[in-house]
């Protein structure tokens, strides 16, 4: 079984490489910019620091530059001696070069945090944990190397996201849970539910009169070369991708529960197996719907603050009616409705298979 998982991963990566080559973007020529890691050597004044470049042709060069002049920086934004930062080098004209500190360097800390997560998953879940992490990486590759480039090329975001979601589903669910009948049933249930979620998302966004321009990020994409993007399709694609991970969890858990119930009582009838499975599923749905809503709320906490402040000066219904709020509501409700549908679909498929297998 581990060899089958490894073989599946190799096939996925080869296939993904094919998609990436086909979706390569032709980039416009941009002004020459270079990025370096640099270290704060000294704080010279309130808005002036001395930095040492840590890499590239100008390694060890010392540069004095301003940082946040005229801005009321918070303590967390202020620079400290020996801190590592990201330095931007811009060519101004033919002979002049400018440098700017654009961010703090945090990849080292992020790598350490990921190592803690990786170690914890392997410690608890063993080989299955490792293959789950590989599945997560495949999901990110599909999004970054297939879905995003294809959308930027002008293809329908909804259709591209659906295709990408199906590819993620086919790869990650088997990497995480292995090649067995339970996974087959969970994958089929997820596929059916994902298609129904896609249909519901279209209906919900149409009923809510959404354009896909409810967020500041989407509105920014209307400027320049990305203006041709189908923003309503982009909203729908985001709903699908957001729902996929939770659907995977619900269907695999529900299928496992049905198999466990059947193994405890092989003589249980189809009707009783479905009834007991739905009791388990109800508990799962109650927890997962709340989890999904809280995940959306957590990701949009700043939006909730603006919502609260706006409600002080405007009628509540007007705030609720705004597209930015309505968009978040539809995201949460479409994904949650998909979770609700996943339970009976998985329960009926798994129960029917188990009882049909017994009759034969």
Helix and strand numbers, DSSP H then E, in the chain: 11, 5
Same domain, 239 and 303: yes
Same domain, 220 and 82: no
Mean pLDDT of 307-323: 78
pLDDT at 346: 95
Whether residue 9 has pLDDT greater than 60: no
Same domain, 195 and 271: yes
**Do 254 and 280 form a contact (C-beta atoms < 8 A)?**
yes
Same domain, 231 and 263: yes
120 within some domain: no
Q: What is the CATH number of the domain that holds 68?
A: 2.40.50
C-alpha span between 70 and 282 (Å, rounded): 57
16 within some domain: no
Same domain, 151 and 240: yes
**Do 138 and 9 form a contact (C-beta atoms < 8 A)?**
yes
240 or 288: which carries more pLDDT confidence?
240
Convert the pLDDT of each residue in 164-216 to its tens digit.
999 999 888 888 888 899 999 999 999 999 999 999 999 999 999 999 888 77
Same domain, 177 and 253: yes
116 within some domain: no
Residue 311: CA atoms inside 13 Å, Cβ hemisphere, count? 11
pLDDT at 27: 45
99 or 68: which carries more pLDDT confidence?
99
DSSP 330-342: HHHHHHHHHHHHH
Whether residue 132 has pLDDT greater than 80: yes
Same domain, 251 and 180: yes
Same domain, 290 and 353: yes
Same domain, 80 and 135: no
Estimate to the nearest angstrom the gap between the alpha carbon of 354 and the chain centroid: 34
Query: In terms of residue numbers, what domain contains 98?
Result: 33-105
Picking from 53, 73, 105, the residue at the C-terminal end of a domain is 105
pLDDT at 71: 67
pLDDT at 24: 42
Q: How many CB atoms lie within 10 A of CB 209?
A: 8
pLDDT at 95: 74
Same domain, 155 and 192: yes
| Number of domains forming the structure of the chain | 2
Convert the pLDDT of each residue in 224-279 to its tens digit.
788 889 999 999 999 999 888 788 888 999 999 999 999 988 888 999 999 999 99
Convert the pLDDT of each residue in 27-77 to its tens digit.
444 557 889 899 999 988 777 889 999 998 889 899 888 887 766 777 777
Same domain, 173 and 274: yes
Q: Is 46 helix (H, G, I), strand (E, B) or coil?
A: coil
C-alpha span between 136 and 278 (Å, rounded): 29
Residue 26's pLDDT band, with cuts at 50, 70 and 90, is very low
């Amino acid at each position: 079984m581990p060899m089958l998982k490894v073989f599946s991963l190799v096939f996925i990566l080869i296939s993904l490489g094919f998609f990436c080559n086909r979706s390569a973007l032709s980039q416009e020529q941009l002004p020459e910019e270079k990025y370096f890691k640099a270290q704060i050597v000294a704080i010279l004044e309130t808005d002036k620091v001395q930095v040492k470049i840590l890499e590239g042709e100008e390694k060890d060069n010392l540069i004095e530059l301003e940082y946040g002049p005229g801005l009321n920086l918070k303590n967390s934004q202020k620079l400290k001696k020996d801190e590592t930062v990201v330095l931007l080098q811009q060519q101004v004209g033919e002979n002049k070069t400018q440098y700017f500190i654009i961010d703090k360097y945090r990849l080292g800390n992020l790598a350490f945090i990921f190592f803690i997560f990786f170690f914890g998953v392997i410690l608890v879940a063993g080989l299955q944990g490792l293959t789950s992490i590989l599945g997560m990486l495949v999901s990110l590759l599909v999004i970054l190397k297939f879905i995003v480039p294809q959308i930027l090329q002008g293809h329908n975001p909804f259709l591209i996201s659906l295709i990408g979601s199906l590819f993620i589903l086919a790869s990650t669910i088997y990497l995480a849970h292995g090649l067995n009948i339970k996974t087959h049933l969970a994958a089929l249930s997820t596929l059916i539910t994902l298609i129904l979620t896609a249909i519901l998302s279209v209906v919900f966004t149409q009923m809510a009169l959404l354009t896909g321009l409810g967020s500041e990020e989407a509105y920014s994409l209307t400027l320049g070369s990305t203006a041709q993007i189908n923003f309503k399709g982009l909203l729908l694609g985001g709903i699908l991708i957001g729902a996929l991970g939770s659907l995977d969890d619900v269907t695999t858990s529900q299928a496992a529960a049905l198999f466990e119930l059947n193994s405890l009582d092989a003589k249980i009838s189809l009707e009783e197996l479905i009834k007991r499975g739905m009791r388990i599923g109800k508990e799962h749905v109650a927890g997962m719907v709340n989890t999904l809503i809280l995940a959306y709320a957590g990701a949009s906490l700043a939006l909730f603050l603006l919502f609260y402040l706006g409600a002080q000066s405007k009628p509540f219904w007007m705030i609720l009616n705004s597209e930015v709020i309505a968009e978040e509501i539809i995201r949460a409700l479409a994904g949650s409705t998909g979770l609700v549908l996943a339970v009976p679909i998985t329960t009926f498929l798994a129960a029917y298979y188990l009882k049909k297998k017994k009759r034969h």
